[in-house]
Amino acid sequence: MLHTIPQSLGPVERMIVPPGSARRGKLLLVAATVLLFGVLLAQITDVAGVTSFGFVSWRPLLSGYIIWAGALCAAQVMIRGEAGQRAAFVLPAVLFTVAMVVFPTVFGLYIAFTDWNLSAVAGRRFNGLDNLRTLFADRYFWNALLNMVYYVLSVLVQYAIAFGLALLLNAEIKARKFFRVAFLLPLMLSPVAVSWMIGKSLMEYRFGPAATLARHLGWDNPAFFSTPWLARSSIIAMDAWVSIPFMMILLLAGLQALPSEIKEAAKVDGASGWQSFKEITFPLMLPVSITVIILRVIFQLKLADIVINVTAGGPGGATDTVSSFIFREYRDRSNVGYGTMLAEFYLVIIIIFVALILKGASRWMQRDN
């Protein structure tokens, strides 16, 4: 006699959990969780000076976390069967992200509310909202934040240049493969190398080739980093030279993915090149364009290395970025507590700003559709 499989059993490939396995998995998870929180409590009380376990670092907590992570993966398999096996493939990545991103962020939040200067004898001590009050009164930080507005707005100009280059390299021109490789060369260089090759050598105001050429053209004092607007523009130009190829290659990939039949139909209908771009190419490239701009804005918000190596934020803070300002707070003043408060506050600003961009881009896409 043939028996049908009841619908309540779910998919045929689902692994049958042996009797008692689920209970052992739950006990394993509970035991590992108790161990983890026990080590965490001991670590906290040891740091606070309440107890003395002799913990000289956070390694005991890390060991407890690794044991708990292994027990969690094993418990998922023991409790859920094959569904637990699928979850066990994802859990290591999630747990690694928690260990390397979430935990440092939370620990940094704790450091942000302490007075911790590495050059002070007193060591680390809780100071409440003092760092936050100092931040709101710090005009140098707000000046760096204002500079970020100029740097972020320059992304739109970079996008226009990158789109133009992508259109050029997508067209049928001679030596197209050579130009594709040549335009990608700046992307292969590190920003630190660009800082020294261009900012410290090519644009050096005494013997640099750019300064020498400017003198021959009639510029008496070709100092590219002497005035605020010129220094900021020079930093933006160097950063754009490195970053435009990244935007260009993504846009070029989007252009090559467009269906050629639409363009051919537009030509048959007598559309000009500008009309074809305005009515067909640009609207179809809008999702790629928004992605490219958002990615570039995120990278721009982290701009620091070129500024640190070329101007150190000068003249008068005109080229300073928030990241370079935080770097100097750590390096020059050894002020870990206040520097961490700056970093955490800037992280909140970035999250809110990027979330607003994503929401606005989503609404724009829905409206156009």
- What secondary structure letter does DSSP report for 221? S
Residues 6+ apart with CB under 8 A from 165: 183, 244, 248
Cis peptide before 315 (omega within 30 of 0): yes
Neighbour count for residue 7 (Cβ, 10 Å):
6
Return left, alpha or beta for 329; rule: phi > 0 is left, psi -120 to 50 is alpha, else beta. Answer: alpha
Backbone angles phi, psi at 80, to 5 degrees: -110, -5
Determine which helix (DSSP H) or strand (DSSP E) holds 126, and give its type and residue range: strand 125-126
Return left, alpha or beta for 316; rule: phi > 0 is left, psi -120 to 50 is alpha, else beta. Answer: left
What pLDDT score does 150 carry? Answer: 96
Q: What is the C-alpha to C-alpha distance for residues 193 and 199, in angstroms, rounded to an integer?
A: 10
Cα Rg of the chain, angstroms? 28
Residues 6+ apart with CB under 8 A from 302: 323
What pLDDT score does 175 carry? Answer: 84
Task: Establish how many alpha carbons lie within 13 A of residue 119's alpha carbon, considering only the half-sphere containing its beta carbon.
Answer: 7
Determine which helix (DSSP H) or strand (DSSP E) holds 114, and give its type and residue range: strand 114-115
Tokens of 263: 């363009």
Neighbour count for residue 225 (Cβ, 10 Å):
20
Chunked mean pLDDT (size 10), the chain, 369 residues: 44 59 92 93 82 80 91 92 89 90 88 90 86 95 96 96 93 86 90 90 88 88 89 94 95 90 79 83 90 94 94 92 95 92 95 91 78
Q: Say if residues 275 and 295 touch (Cβ distance below 8 Å).
A: no
Q: What is the C-alpha to C-alpha distance for residues 338 and 129, in angstroms, rounded to an integer?
A: 11
Tokens of 271: 């559309």
Q: Say if residues 292 and 250 touch (Cβ distance below 8 Å).
A: yes
Neighbour count for residue 64 (Cβ, 10 Å):
20
Neighbour count for residue 298 (Cβ, 10 Å):
13
Backbone angles phi, psi at 10, to 5 degrees: 80, -160
What pLDDT score does 7 carry? Answer: 46
Least Cα distance to 112 among 334, 341, 336, 327 occurs for 341
3-state secondary structure of 311: coil
Query: Hey, which residues does 360 pair with through a beta bridge?
Result: none
